Amino acid sequence: MSINWFPGHMAKARREVEENLKKVDVVIEILDARIPNSSHNPMMDEITKHKPRVVVLNKVDMADPKATDRWLSKFKSEGKYPVALDGRHNQIIKKIEPLAVKATAEDFNRMEEKGIRRRAIRAMIIGIPNVGKSTVINNIARKKGAKTGNTPGVTKQQQWIKAGQQMELLDTPGILWPKFEDEATGKKLALTGAIKDTVVPLDEVAIFGMQHLLEWDPERFNAFYNISASQDDDIVTVFDAIGKSRGMKSSGNEINYEAVTNRVIHDIRNGKIGRYTFDKVDAQ
């Protein structure tokens, strides 16, 4: 499985993000808390260079709380300033701003020592599509429903918005493309809705999700679909069981595999079955 990002587009997107980074003191990277590794573009580390980084594990309401704690510790140990939150909640700025203050303290102290008058901390949000960048920005700006786009690069016509007491935030995010290092990464991105459904075959995405749940949380998976499947079962029998239990049959009384596939992806993607983190800290 592969996805072809045009090298020209990638270079342009990168240049745009780099250009904007010059204007800010701190980068706020938004990741999906369910896939903190797969939703991170490694180029981010190169692009942001020595800028301090606040890492927002967004969509925490759908991630496994214990795994989130482990990811927070990992990011802290790397010298980043992480926080886990639900970007749709009010007051997220109260969680983000203190971290931006801490992350930039050294730089601002240095400026003050040189006699430079203190100014607002300038920040920029960066992330791959669908991790919640618009949600977070609109929430901070108290705007409703403005979608900031999904084309890698930086959306034009930027403005600074007041964010909390000491910070200004660029109202348009830097958008990076997702990385496709291996098949599992692609499936995780699809399962969480970070990439469009057409990029990875949907049946493979559903199978990946089912296998993950059968390994990590079989009781809840079985209870949710009212079936009794196990990790060792042939995956077709799991499809059959769900199809039967949910009455997903086509005209000839055959199981409608497409319907089961879509159902399972929808249920996992939207956190209907439970809270899951598909990237494990230890596996990095």
- How far, rounded to the nearest angstrom, does the alpha carbon of residue 160 sit from its chain's CA centroid? 24
Between CA 55 and CA 271, with CA 68 as vertex, the angle to 5 degrees is 105
Selected from 36, 82, 132, 243, the binder of ligand G4P by CB under 6 A is 132
Q: Which long-range contacts (CB under 8 A, 24 or more apart) does 267-271 make?
A: 267/224, 268/191, 268/209, 268/213, 269/191, 269/192, 269/193, 270/62, 271/61, 271/62
CB 153 to ligand G4P: min, Å: 13
Interface segment toward ligand G4P; rule CB under 6 A; list 16-24, 99-107, 147-155, 159-167? 147-155
Cα–Cα distance measured from residue 122 to residue 100, given in angstroms and rounded to the nearest whole number:
9
CB 131 to ligand G4P: min, Å: 5
* Residue 78 CB partners (closer than 8 Å, separation 6+): none
CB 29 to ligand G4P: min, Å: 11
Interface segment toward ligand G4P; rule CB under 6 A; list 8-16, 55-63, 100-108, 198-206? 55-63
CB 174 to ligand G4P: min, Å: 11
Selected from 40, 133, 179, 275, the binder of ligand G4P by CB under 6 A is 133
Q: Which is nearer to ligand G4P, 61 or 107 (CB)?
A: 61
Report if residue 139 touches ligand G4P, rule: CB under 6 A. no
Asked if 72 and 84 count as a contact pair (C-beta separation under 8 A), the reply is yes
Interface segment toward ligand G4P; rule CB under 6 A; list 12-20, 108-116, 129-137, 258-266? 129-137
| 218-225 and 202-216 helices, crossing angle to 10° | 120
Asked if 63 and 275 count as a contact pair (C-beta separation under 8 A), the reply is yes
Selected from 131, 242, 248, 255, the binder of ligand G4P by CB under 6 A is 131
Size of the site for ligand G4P (CB under 6 A): 19
Cα→Cα distances 64→34, 68, 95, 112, Å: 7, 6, 20, 42
Site string for ligand G4P, 163-202 (x = CB under 6 A): ------------------------------x---------
CB 63 to ligand G4P: min, Å: 9
Region 56-115 residues binding ligand G4P, contact defined as CB under 6 A: 58-59, 61-62, 86-88
Asked if 129 and 179 count as a contact pair (C-beta separation under 8 A), the reply is no
CB 135 to ligand G4P: min, Å: 3
Please give the structure tokens belonging to residue 254: 């055959």
Region 211-270 residues binding ligand G4P, contact defined as CB under 6 A: none
283: closest CA among 196, 193, 190, 215? 215
Report if residue 129 touches ligand G4P, rule: CB under 6 A. yes
Q: Which is nearer to ligand G4P, 13 or 62 (CB)?
A: 62
Q: Which value, in Å, is the radius of gyration of the alpha carbons in the chain? A: 21
Q: Taking the CA of residue 3 as centre, how many other CA atoms within 13 Å lie in the half-sphere pointing to its CB?
A: 21
Report if residue 127 touches ligand G4P, rule: CB under 6 A. yes
Residues that bind ligand G4P in the complex, under the rule CB under 6 A: 58-59, 61-62, 86-88, 127, 129-135, 147-148, 150, 193
